[in-house]
Structure 1
């Protein structure tokens, strides 16, 4: 752009010969030309326009704008932006986010959105002589945010509609049969839903990182889309939890230690109006469960209890051993030893008709926007997937007790220590670490590849298992000659693919490269790597949708793991 600036005939413009430009103009032009952010200088009463290279995509195929009046360049929208420019020339700086315009830059009217700042420029005497237009086009992020919102509304309505129909059709069946049927519905929609969300979250996350290198304000433009996508992702995870198809990573847990380790989290979450008591049993048996999921269930139960005590109250978390004999057993709980974790509140309580529906998905007594009605159904799914059950007792005006029952662990393994926060090791990749990404969804594959390259890895990709095996057999050449051939370090593969599944691909790849690390990614895996609700031993799984930070942490963890 500097050459075009020097070659331009400025004598035909009100600015005249650049050698005679005032210092304030020369300084302003220098700043704009050396900026990577799309910027333009608008100078003098004639609004002469000078812009940098980054500004050119904003103009599109508009006629040459250099040296022309800013009013002429943006004639079709001057009635909207002209008053804003007048404020800048009056000495007032303006900042506007996601400003909608319809411009003609490619031969036809085009709806677009911009975030821009008009800043006045003063000369040596303090008089306003021009302005700087700093602009970021946010069209794609606004469209993505709107698309995510529409997609969420449609899918939530569809899930709710199907669930209501299914519940009505099976109203005469036992509660357990009804729950199983809704679980099949939840698992069926999760795969496609998560694939779409993976594209949204990965793409916007990359955009967020790159724009952050320039204008630090750009992160706010995509937060809405990220929030919407994350909410949709949470919805699918809760549906999978309810349907007992979420991957669990069970470990031996001391429930007393776990609930006391949640003290700070519960105190911050529940607020000062809720008093928390812990009643822990001596000699409590250990359990075998997924720590993160168990903590999430207990937190959900505690939040529900808080919401039942709008004026404050007391929350009691109590652990105990429970022996269920044959006389007390039913189809939901087999005879045997259990550990119970009970969450009791002194809230409003529930009438019998609400208690009967407490674990139904999408059933909630909260006002619109205060809950999805999936928290307790998620707890139900986790308990059943872990081999246990959850029960509720309640009395109106007295309070409620939710009692989670999990089977006792029989074994010699010691309970794992409660994880404590620590400084994370660097998550950056290294060029000698070669990642093969296998994904049949083009957009998901493209974003995953771009994200891994952003993290510093050498990345190759394939659309199916057959293509991936050809790459593995041929090796990857990172230099000249035979010495430049290297094997793939990590196979990152989707599980559900046509032809060859990710599990079949991994088995074939490991026969060729025994030291190959494997990381599966999926929105819904079926029974490929999860059996009886538990992730197969030695299996690494990254659930869709995932952001770049989660991807970085998981990939680094798999590569750094021994073996």
Structure 2
């Protein structure tokens, strides 16, 4: 009997419900009479993983796919085959006009629409994006509407929270007495607080770009812009003083502008963050200090014999001023210094006193004063900041400046200290630091959100396939053909999940590598043939390779994966037709890449060039980020280039990219060049020896995870081996001490509580040199940093064949040579 629903794709809960329903009493009639247009629309919709629904016929009967089912909520039991208006009666006022316009032949697209869907029978606000399209029958008339929908609630609420966070940060910036500002890598001002407008009288937008310089004193503009341009070019922090005109007084005040560059992961500058602070009063005080110091130097020679100094010189400032001779005797102090000293130590100080004697009751402070003044009295001029933790102090923080005192003949006669209260300045710096930290945290959370969102999206897709397949495999009456199909789907999906985690670990430089020394030219000749299958017949592959060998020490599997990822990018860039050029240069130096210093090398440089569409400049700085892609949905995961840069960095190299829009792109992979390996000498008898005979082994399994341990022991028993299971490394060593030489091999996890698998393997090797040890892990920081551990490695998730192959490999390596077996007396 013919299947009336043969046009429906196999599998799926909704497909099963469509088959089970009696359609004779509906307006669409039995499926044998359904038009081809309805059949095609249903087949397309049920095969798509995106949430969709179809409303068909004069009653607009409701059809949908599995992805749409959760959206229906409590309506699900009464939705299939019922009029669309009845199904969504609660929001018909909002979507009714969309339906009418679509049935009139007009496609409709709405983004972030707020609806009360009441999916659980109670009011529920959510945001959605819809695309309504008319569906035409064979006569060209509109017979229904087709809708692709996606919930955007999480994004809308996330953007709302981000706006609130930005508003909070903006208010924090505006309350800062300093002037925070930012500029782009070329020095164009792009943001600033309103404090700048209040000070200068400039209008909003006027300081943008280089407009801020209009507020500077004309004499200060040339050297200010020179310092600014020099810092932009070198990446060094900006620190420059200049005068600006204050709007409400018309006077000029001294300002200090400082800024530091923020760089991306590649080291390129993406933005400058700075602050402008008012230093006018301090600048004037410094000028007065210089004048005072000059006066003091001129007059100190006459005053030394009488020990009588004119304190009135020092009383022109409220800073703390003192001068000592080489024997730590006070030459002069001002009233501010004397008052502060007495308030701290309870004793007065005046000209003629010995500073160290006055501090005798405070030995810690005495030694600290000796240390700092000895530097100044020795001729060193310096500045330091001293802070005090006591909140009751009148002045919790000082900036101490020490200057040499000389007589009229230029001889050094002592040292001069100028202490200024910088408490408010330090508080402003702390506020700016907190604001900068808040901004860095927000940027970090944005990057984490992108990464976790990408991982969740891809893994949920894979888990959907596995879960659906397992549900069908549980059916006792499932045909064998479909059972095989679902088993293959589960196996393929596990492989895809393993590749996904491998790419993420490769980007993070945490992928356990198995490096080998090989000739790049020979490997590239072999890979070129494989790339033909990846790129297609319409793309010509040209290999420009040297005749001389060029050896590197890298993981060959990861290297080939990187080349395939670069080739796939090139294939997509040329849109299926063009030229892909592989070029190898040996002994090259590695240039500076993304702001990182270059290296003399030598390096092997492998270039993959295409003549495709190129990469826009605004995308170049982000192409190596995980899950970042400019391709259409479904055309790429955004992990290919992440794997390439992670592999390159972990192997001691890097990758550079050069691109011109419309002219093509060249990726250049740099890997450290090494000397060729020593030829392996093997006896002729051993080289021709037959493979190791399969036999039952006694294997010690070391695994702390109970589920994985049960699975592994069952797997090895099914392979015909006897098993002893230890739950950690310490228990495994105890098994060896109890019955030495009992085991033929060890199969151990790497990451375990207490002693790890690598340390266990090394201890076993020290006591049992010929014992084969196989390590297994899904991720290990130890293996990612040390690829020279020397043990066979099986990556999780593993198959029975991979474990069996690893056992054969280690047993072959353990086999004694032919010369030893033929030794007399054995």
TM (normalized to structure 1)?
A: 0.57
How much has 1:285 moved relative to structure 2? 3.2
Q: 1:218 to 1:295 in 2, by over 3 A?
A: same
> 2:760 maps to what in 1?
505
Separation in 2 of the partners of 1:426 and 1:412? 25
Equivalent in 427, 437, 452 of residue 701 of structure 2: 437
> 2:601 maps to what in 1?
336
Equivalent in 738, 743, 756 of residue 488 of structure 1: 743
> 2:672 maps to what in 1?
407
Matched, 1:558 2:810: yes
Q: Map 1:195-234 to 2 at 5 A.
A: 215=480, 218-234=483-499
Matched, 1:472 2:709: no
Q: Map 1:521-536 to 2 at 5 A.
A: 521-527=776-782, 529-531=783-785, 534-536=786-788
Q: 1:397 to 1:80 in 2, by over 3 A?
A: closer
Equivalent in 680, 696, 718 of residue 454 of structure 1: 718
Retained in 1: the 8 A contact 2:698–2:742?
A: yes
How much has 1:467 moved relative to structure 2? 2.4
TM (normalized to structure 2)?
A: 0.40
> 1:540 maps to what in 2?
792
RMSD over aligned CA atoms reads: 4.3
Q: 1:176 to 1:399 in 2, by over 3 A?
A: closer
Matched, 1:175 2:265: yes
Q: 1:177 to 1:475 in 2, by over 3 A?
A: farther
How much has 1:445 moved relative to structure 2? 0.9
How much has 1:321 moved relative to structure 2? 2.8
Retained in 2: the 8 A contact 1:276–1:316?
A: yes
> 1:298 maps to what in 2?
563
> 2:775 maps to what in 1?
520
How much has 1:462 moved relative to structure 2? 1.7
Separation in 2 of the partners of 1:252 and 1:507? 24
Counting matched residue pairs gives 367
> 1:56 maps to what in 2?
none
How much has 1:538 moved relative to structure 2? 2.0
> What's the secondary structure of 1:369's corresponding residue?
coil
How much has 1:545 moved relative to structure 2? 1.3
Matched, 1:258 2:523: yes
How much has 1:506 moved relative to structure 2? 2.5
Q: 1:440 to 1:364 in 2, by over 3 A?
A: same
Retained in 1: the 8 A contact 2:588–2:605?
A: no
Q: 1:521 to 1:349 in 2, by over 3 A?
A: same
How much has 1:287 moved relative to structure 2? 2.0
Which deviates the most, 250-259 or 500-509?
Answer: 500-509
Separation in 1 of the partners of 2:767 and 2:586? 50
Retained in 2: the 8 A contact 1:323–1:338?
A: yes
Q: 1:427 to 1:367 in 2, by over 3 A?
A: farther
Separation in 1 of the partners of 2:813 and 2:538? 44
Q: Map 1:1-400 to 2 at 5 A.
A: 172-176=262-266, 215=480, 218-283=483-548, 285-324=550-589, 331=596, 333-400=598-665
> 1:97 maps to what in 2?
none
Separation in 1 of the partners of 2:497 and 2:594? 38
How much has 1:344 moved relative to structure 2? 0.8
Query: Which consecutive unaligned segments of at least 5 residues does structure 2 have?
Result: 1-16, 22-65, 67-153, 167-260, 269-443, 682-689, 816-826
Separation in 1 of the partners of 2:728 and 2:629? 43
> 2:323 maps to what in 1?
none
Separation in 2 of the partners of 1:360 and 1:558? 38
> 1:21 maps to what in 2?
none
> What's the secondary structure of 1:340's corresponding residue?
strand
> What's the secondary structure of 2:266's corresponding residue?
helix
Q: Relative contact order (C-alpha < 8 Å, sep 6+): which is higher?
A: 1
Retained in 2: the 8 A contact 1:287–1:407?
A: yes
How much has 1:237 moved relative to structure 2? 0.5
Instruction: Please give the per-residue CA displacement for 1:459-493, whole angstroms capped at 9, x wherever unaligned.
Output: 221212232223223339xxxxxxxxx61111111
Separation in 1 of the partners of 2:619 and 2:784? 34
Separation in 2 of the partners of 1:410 and 1:299? 26
Query: Which consecutive unaligned segments of at least 5 residues does structure 1 have?
Result: 1-76, 82-99, 101-156, 417-424, 477-485
- Where does structure 1 differ by over 6 angstroms across 4 or more consecutive aligned residues? 325-330, 425-428
Retained in 2: the 8 A contact 1:322–1:338?
A: yes
How much has 1:341 moved relative to structure 2? 0.9
